Amino acid sequence: MKKFAKVVSSPNMKMAAVRELNVAPNYQYNSVIIDEDIKDFGLNKKYFIRTYGCQGNLRDSEVIAGILKEMKYSPCQNVEEADIIILNTCCVRENAEKKVFGEIGSLKSLKQKNPNLLIGVCGCMVQQEHIVTTLLTNYQQVDIIFGTHNIYQLPSLIKDAILSNQRICNVLSNQGDIQEDLPSCRANTYKAWVNIMYGCNKFCTYCIVPYTRGKERSRKSVDILNEIRQLKEMGYKEVTLLGQNVNAYGKDIADLSFAELMEQVALTGIDRIRFTTSHPYDFSDELIDVIAKYPNIMKHIQLPVQSGDDGILKAMGRRYNRKQYLDLVKKIKDKIKDVSLTTDIIVGFPNESDEAFAQTLSLCEEVKYDSAFTFIYSPRVGTPAAKMKDNISMDVKKQRFNKLTATIAKYELEKYKTFEGKIIKVLVDGPSKKNEEILSGYSEDNKLVNFKGDLSSVGKIVNVKIIKAKTYTLEGEQVD
């Protein structure tokens, strides 16, 4: 039997594109409200969360887990055992969306077996009108749809869905407030994600994120620093500062700049500090100096270039040209010894000629990245680029993609080879996925290291002697 869908609010991408600049965000504290009548809803019930996409989503899923825990739900490892399943989705490329629709489809049979099962879909995908329409029309098995701005309302959405026996949709397209003090169950006990800002105002022409994540808005530095100090006291070794464009931190409020914030974070004394992602446009000289100065700021910079061709960069709305990007790379390499540079690149953007693609290859040859995430352009509904003709055939896109990954791999291996024979510091994650007897972890400059070592080192920083370099990993043995 079809259930009625109550649509409290649904997304509107035109509204999501509005930016009222020079207006500081609203900060809300302790906004999760769990009514008396639902505080034990989760007793003897289990939750399962599947997360797609970026670190921002991973962090949001930790918050969703925290809220469900407050409602007394406990976690489980597979969908069959769950009483509530949440899919936290990504829409950055079409493939990400296809996976989610596939998964929702496969959950239909579980829902038929257990009509009390609750299925929630949240995250970036449902910030788009056409996706919500499709879910409401064709995917009866989905009970709750909520967006990136109102995760804190999850308890009341669950209550509504259960007590009113209706499907609920509540997705906001406002510029977004900042919710502080949300409960969370962190996925890890020694490394943590810490949001420093939300949203994006850059509006690169191919990118959906400014519409799904709202306006750039910074957390107060005092709240960020308190969170990091607490993490340190709890024994955390590493924090990764998160934002769609961390270099724009503080531009919307009278607070520290990103460089000043990084310095304060370094002074907390936490062992390892990382940050992601940096837009080259906002990368200041002060930031380069701070990264160079503090040993606990890791010397790894993810600096998305997207293309090496001026015409394509302009069409992408990236706000820098090839020369400006290369000048920034030179400045970074000159000032930060042994810096590791990684990047994101898109191939097959509309009108990308063979010559334009050759420019991307030559830029990679010049920079010699430590590694790169490479993507085939995927048109996103509602973005300016989606109105351009997607005129590069899939065959050509794939050929370019393969050429690019081969070029990146060549320099990656060259760089990795320079580590052979060296002793480097690794924060140990645990037994490697492929071989229980081998431990794995990440080096200071974010390389995956597999090594023979002592299981008691998990969560600690240890010295590892590198014996062999492969294209994507280093192999070695623990020396202390």
Q: Which does 124 bind (CB under 5 to 8 A by kind): ligand SF4, ligand 5AD, none?
A: ligand SF4
In the shown chain, the binding pattern of residues 359 to 388 toward ligand 5AD, with x for contact by CB under 6 A and - for none, equals ----------------x-xx-x--------
Position 91 contacts ligand 5AD (CB under 6 A)? no
The CA angle 119-121-123, to the nearest 5 degrees, is 155
Partner whose footprint covers residue 57, from ligand 5AD, ligand SF4, none (CB < 5 to 8 Å by kind): ligand SF4
Give me the amino acid identity at 186.
Answer: R
Number of residues that bind ligand 5AD (CB under 6 A): 12
How many H-runs (helices) and E-runs (strands) does the chain carry? 13, 22
- Taking the C-alpha atoms of residue 30 and residue 93, their distance in angstroms, rounded to an integer, is 34
Is 51 a binder of ligand SF4 (CB under 6 A)? no
Contacts of 82 (CB under 8 A, 6+ apart): 46, 47, 48, 76, 117
**Closer Cβ to ligand SF4, 91 or 339, answer by number:** 91
Residue (70 or 310) nearer to ligand 5AD, CB: 310
Buried-exposed string 355-394: b where 16+ CB fall within 10 A, e elsewhere: ebbebbbebbeebbbbbbebbbbbbbebbebeeeebebee
Does residue 283 interact with ligand 5AD by CB under 6 A?
Answer: no
Q: Looking at 268-353, list the stretches that DSSP marks H as alpha helix, in order from N- to C-terminal side.
A: 285-293, 310-316, 322-335
Interface stretch with ligand SF4, choices 74-82, 89-97, 414-422, 435-443 (CB under 6 A):
89-97
DSSP-derived 3-state class of residue 49: strand
Residues sharing a CB contact under 8 Å with residue 68, sequence separation 6 or more, in sequence order: 42, 47, 84, 154
**Closer to ligand 5AD by Cβ: residue 156 or 378:** 378
Peptide bond into 277 cis (omega under 30): yes
> What is the chain's length?
480
The single residue among 225, 346, 392, 439 that binds ligand 5AD, judged by CB under 6 A, is 346
93 binds, among ligand SF4, ligand 5AD, none (CB under 5 to 8 A by kind): ligand 5AD
The residue from 52, 206, 325, 401 that contacts ligand 5AD (CB under 6 A) is 206
Binding map of ligand SF4 across residues 198-217, x = CB under 6 A, - = no contact:
----------xx--xx----
Q: Which residues are near ligand SF4 by CB under 6 A?
A: 53-54, 56-57, 90-92, 123-124, 208-209, 212-213
